[in-house]
Structure 1
Amino acid sequence: MPDRTLITETYGSVLLAPEVPCLIVQWHTFANRQQFRSFMDRSLELYIQESRHTRPLGLLGDTRLVGAVTPDDQHWLRTDWNPRAYAAGIRHMSFVAPESIFGQISVQSYTNNTEAANAYAINIAHYNTLSEAKQWLHQALQEPAVD
């Protein structure tokens, strides 16, 4: 079953992969602060909508083409977006590894911040291909939920 596009912007897309099932947040290029936060918020709203009739549901970051994420935006993810994502039911996230060093630093910073959090627990895994990231997420979603 092919992935279905839900949002398309110049800097990214959000897709639904029903076979996993998950939403894929796919970055195409750098997004400025307003674009980045708006896109992440819109992605979370779509997750909430889809999770009303698809449970469990995962989130996959296709970050192959992601750019740098500023320290301010990393802080916002850690203290604002992640707690809302956890409250919405996100427990598992997989990432497709970034190609650029700036993207790699950004995704590793996000992972470190998320793993160090005490207020929520989101299981994160990194893979080199989209199919590997989907496969892991599919398996992780089959595990019993632990809150």
Structure 2
Amino acid sequence: MVEEVFGEGDICSVRWDEQVGAVILEWVGDVNGDTYREYMDRTLNVIVDKQADKCLVDRQNQGRMTEADQEWTVEDWDVRAFEAGLAYLAIVYPEDPSAKTTVDMAARKSPFLELERVFVHDFEEARDWLLTK
């Protein structure tokens, strides 16, 4: 797997997976508010720079999203990502059951039926799904 790293830290990493042709956002810690939005925007910048239509968000180690972050993701980030050309989004569920619920709640609010999404429990399953797109 050939990857180009765009940001890595205690909270998350943002990288480009050349083989899949996808931006990979992997959360490695719990985060909310401005920091969450900053990393989501970094991810969007890579989507734009790479003209990517695929993104994998690994939330296994992320905690619950606040309602404000859910709304921002659906009403702001999703809109900009879709307008930038994002067509396929693979999300790896958080391990925490209550965090999984917040991911599901946010996904139900998305107005973009054209954005094909898959929700799985395993990184490789998400990556394999994107390889088919």
How many residues end up aligned between the 2 structures? 133
Q: Is the 8 A contact 2:32 2:66 kept in 1?
A: no
Displacement after TM superposition at 1:28 (Å) = 0.7
Displacement after TM superposition at 1:27 (Å) = 0.4
Amino acid at match of 1:66: Q
Q: Is the 8 A contact 1:68 1:103 kept in 2?
A: yes
Which of 104, 110, 118 matches 1:125? 118
For the pair 1:86 / 2:92, whether they are aligned, the reply is no
Displacement after TM superposition at 1:81 (Å) = 0.9
CA deviations 1:50-99 (Å, max 9, x no partner) are 11xxxx53000111101111111111111111110000001110012210
Determine which structure has more spread, i.e. the larger CA radius of gyration.
1
Amino acid at match of 1:48: V
1:1-147 pair list within 5 angstroms:
1-51=1-51, 57-114=53-110, 117=111, 121-139=114-132, 141=133
Amino acid at match of 2:7: I
Q: CA RMSD for the aligned pairs?
A: 1.5
Amino acid at match of 2:115: I
Q: TM-score, normalised by structure 1?
A: 0.83
Runs of 4+ in 1 over 3 A off after TM superposition: none
Displacement after TM superposition at 1:100 (Å) = 0.6
Amino acid at match of 1:98: P
List runs of 5+ in structure 1 lacking aligned partners: 142-147
Q: What's the % identity of the aligned pairs? A: 25
- What SS does the corresponding residue of 1:42 show, helix, strand or coil? helix
- What SS does the corresponding residue of 2:126 show, helix, strand or coil? helix
- What SS does the corresponding residue of 1:67 show, helix, strand or coil? coil
Q: TM-score, normalised by structure 2?
A: 0.91
- What SS does the corresponding residue of 1:61 show, helix, strand or coil? strand
